[in-house]
Chains A and B, each alone.
Chain A
Amino acid sequence: MRRGEVLVAVTALLAGVGAAAALVRGGYEVPIDLVAPTLVLNLAVGWSFVGVGLVARRRRPASRTGLLMVVLGFAWLARFLVAVDTTPAFVVGVLLGSVSLSLFVHLLVTFPTGRTRTPGQRVLVLVAYVLSAPLDAVFLAIGASRGRGEGPPPNGLLITPRNGEFSPDPVDLVVQAVVVALCVSVLVSIWWRWRAAGVAERRALTPGLVGGTVVLATLLVERTAILLFLPPSAGVVLAWSAQVVLVVWPIALLLGLLRSRLDRSGVGRLVVDLGEGPAEPGRLQSVVARALHDPTAQVAYRLPATDAYVDAAGDPVDVSPRDDRAVAHLTRDGRPIAVLLHDPVLAGEPDLVEAVAAGAGLAVENERLHAEVRHQLREVRASRARLVEAADGARRRVERDLHDGAQQRLVAVGLALRLARTRLGAGSRDELDALLAEAGEELTGALAELRELARGIYPPLLTDEGLGPALISLAERASLPVVVRAVPAERPPEAVEQACYFVVSEALTNAAKHASATQVGVDVVSDGDGLRVEVLDDGVGGADADGSGLRGLADRVAAVGGRFEVSSPAGGGTRMTATLPCG
């Protein structure tokens, strides 16, 4: 035991002795048969709160519950000052007696952290304190020297049947009503908290709340005994039982505080569980949830080189903090590898969460790698589906272009020639000449359109002459000024060359169609083992990287193992960068 704790314990013992002395030798007459049970129960309550409070404080230093329990224990013992037959002692005893009731409400409402979390809790605790010492002080000050001269003050300590007629004054009635309202509010608050709590939180809350509820309910019945037509003897039984419950309540609170700690063996079981059984996705999460007694616990794995997290199946997970869950970061060699999303009550158990995280360490790394692979697989599947869709879309466009373009022109050629034949005998030479010229023009147009279409399907210049001439030709045919500033002299692998060409081609189409750009710059430079393609326009920006066109480009780049980035601030032009590995 630490010195401070020893001092508190000794003080509590002395306070107990002092309380006994006050009751026996305070100067009032106390029925002899009530002295022993009164002392035993009250000392048990006081010492129980102080002793268990000290243990709670040591085991859970972050929680204020232990401190509140110690203070409540002392306040409980200090109530015995009313048994000393002097005015100051009476006043102080009455005030401290009221404070102990407020401390009780404070403890119950804020258990297990000892701190108010919601405005409702703050109001309850505040009302409990205002109703106690300050209100009693007012009563004392306005001369309601209750009891003094009309009966022995230790009546506040002794449990005896209520005497005589029930004739309370209005002030009494109001005070009783307020106390009853407070008790009911506290019960409702407890009920709400318990209902809203997760499984892990309920494990910690239940013992303390059940004990506190019993005490409070007993108090409530006792206060309303008259209204409930209970005989005076029933009030005595209730009051005694409330005190008995108060003796064991601190232990229930401690149990709640330590409950998860009692389950530390669960961490050992977690390590064993992880070693056995099939390594299926999500298994780690279910084992961790079991160890933490928190079915909502979720493990999310960090994708390397990003801030994105995925679950075991590779689906994205939002790990931003929320009110209804806490986030614990798991690291390995200083790198964040995963997060554990859990019930906020476990945030009061950092060592437990840490122990579980450490126990799961290697398994987390393993499952993270699996999750990463699954995520990649998912991306590849999605990208493959998009590529197929894009290819189908491209075929549809080719069909439409052929139908609307060359095919219509060739139909016109056929009709013109047929008409010319029909008019061979009847028509004039000029008419025939015009018809043949018309047919020739349509043929020329059809040829040009077919050429353009073929080039769109695959540029022959790219195969024959390489990226430089192909990009320059692309720039020359573009509908806005394009400057090709740099292209490496060496030819990269065919797949990279194609990807590079289509990135530029699509970027130019975008710049012309959506960006309202007046000029575009194209740079293709060697970048380590690969190529970096950059297309920068001076347009309106705001390009949507998830739009189908840019998504298609990203897929095409990803298909050759490259990376595609779009920076397009509104009003600041669009910069598309593709990094393509050549190895």
Chain B
Amino acid sequence: MTARVLIVDDHASFRSLARRLLVAEGFDVVGEAGDAADAFDAVRSLAPDVVLLDIRLPDLDGFGVAEVLAGGDGVYGAPTVVLVSSRSRGDYGPRVDASPARGFIAKHDLTGDALRRVLSGGS
């Protein structure tokens, strides 16, 4: 089954390119959001399987968004969260491992294969 993906990033150029890249590699990109507030709305209305979530957002950071989405009340359906950033994973120290997100992909390494690896638990 094709994973339904929501892309959350405040840079429109990244969202646009990531959408085209993932679609070209067989993903179903169901929506985009530019900040945390829009992301919550989009998750509720679109119920994606995967949220590709930028860590640096203008309102709440990606770690905070991941915590909310993983929250036990079930409002958001607990989608799988994959964090992305133009920084490297090392810049965030242990925070990535400590967060409920499934994994992390540096933006310049983003490909359909990289996303599949993370989703299958290969990180």
Closest approach, in angstroms, between the C-beta of B9 and any C-beta of chain A?
9
Residues in A neighbouring B56, C-beta threshold 8 A? 403
Q: Which residue of B lies closest to A426 (CB)?
A: B24
Q: Check B95 for interface membership: any CB of A closer than 8 A.
A: no
**B21-A419 in contact (CB<8A):** yes
User: CB within 8 A of B20: which of A409, A411, A419?
Assistant: A419
**Which residue of B17, B21, B107, B111 has the most chain A CB atoms within 10 A of its CB atom?**
B17
Closest approach, in angstroms, between the C-beta of B34 and any C-beta of chain A?
13
**B21-A415 in contact (CB<8A):** yes
**A412-B24 in contact (CB<8A):** no
Residues in B neighbouring A423, C-beta threshold 8 A? 24
**B17-A407 in contact (CB<8A):** no
Closest approach, in angstroms, between the C-beta of A491 and any C-beta of chain B?
41
Q: Check B87 for interface membership: any CB of A closer than 8 A.
A: yes
Q: Check A548 for interface membership: any CB of B closer than 8 A.
A: no
Residues in B neighbouring A438, C-beta threshold 8 A? 17
**B21-A422 in contact (CB<8A):** yes
* B residues 29-74 touching A (CB-CB < 8 Å): 56
Q: Check A384 for interface membership: any CB of B closer than 8 A.
A: no
User: CB within 8 A of A418: which of B13, B14, B111?
Assistant: B111
* A residues 439-457 touching B (CB-CB < 8 Å): 442
**A415-B24 in contact (CB<8A):** no
Count A-B pairs with CB separation below 8 Å.
41
**A411-B86 in contact (CB<8A):** yes
Q: Which residue of A lies closest to B111 (CB)?
A: A418
Residues in A neighbouring B18, C-beta threshold 8 A? 415
Q: Check B97 for interface membership: any CB of A closer than 8 A.
A: no
What is the size, in residues, of chain B's interface with A at 8 Å between Cβ atoms?
Answer: 16
Q: Check B11 for interface membership: any CB of A closer than 8 A.
A: yes
**B110-A415 in contact (CB<8A):** yes
Residues in B neighbouring A442, C-beta threshold 8 A? 13
Q: Check A254 for interface membership: any CB of B closer than 8 A.
A: no
Bound-state Cα–Cα, A73 to B42, Å: 100
Bound-state Cα–Cα, A262 to B107, Å: 87
Bound-state Cα–Cα, A438 to B16, Å: 11
**A403-B86 in contact (CB<8A):** yes
Closest approach, in angstroms, between the C-beta of B53 and any C-beta of chain A?
15
Bound-state Cα–Cα, A419 to B19, Å: 10
A403-B56, A403-B86, A442-B13 in contact; A411/B107 too (CB < 8 A)?
yes
Closest approach, in angstroms, between the C-beta of B19 and any C-beta of chain A?
10
Q: CB-defined interface of A400-416 with B at 8 Å, one 1/0 digit per residue?
A: 00010001111110111
Closest approach, in angstroms, between the C-beta of A384 and any C-beta of chain B?
30
**B86-A415 in contact (CB<8A):** no
Q: CB-defined interface of A499-529 with B at 8 Å, one 1/0 digit per residue?
A: 0000000000000000000000000000000
**A419-B108 in contact (CB<8A):** no
Q: Which residue of A lies closest to B22 (CB)?
A: A419
A403-B56, A411-B108, A414-B108 in contact; A419/B86 too (CB < 8 A)?
no
**B107-A415 in contact (CB<8A):** yes
Bound-state Cα–Cα, A419 to B112, Å: 11
**Which residue of A410, A411, A416, A438 has the most chain B CB atoms within 10 A of its CB atom?**
A411
Closest approach, in angstroms, between the C-beta of B23 and any C-beta of chain A?
10
Residues in B neighbouring A419, C-beta threshold 8 A? 17, 20-21, 24
**A422-B108 in contact (CB<8A):** no
Bound-state Cα–Cα, A416 to B21, Å: 8
**B14-A415 in contact (CB<8A):** yes
The 9 closest A-B pairs by CB, nearest first: A415-B17, A411-B107, A412-B13, A414-B108, A407-B86, A419-B21, A411-B86, A408-B11, A411-B108
Binding site for B on A (CB under 8 A): 403, 407-412, 414-416, 418-419, 422-423, 426, 438, 442
Binding site for A on B (CB under 8 A): 11, 13-14, 17-18, 20-21, 24-25, 56, 86-87, 107-108, 110-111
9 further A-B pairs in the complex, CB-CB below 8 A; given A409-B13, A411-B14, A419-B17: A403-B56, A403-B86, A403-B87, A412-B13, A414-B108, A415-B21, A415-B108, A419-B20, A419-B21
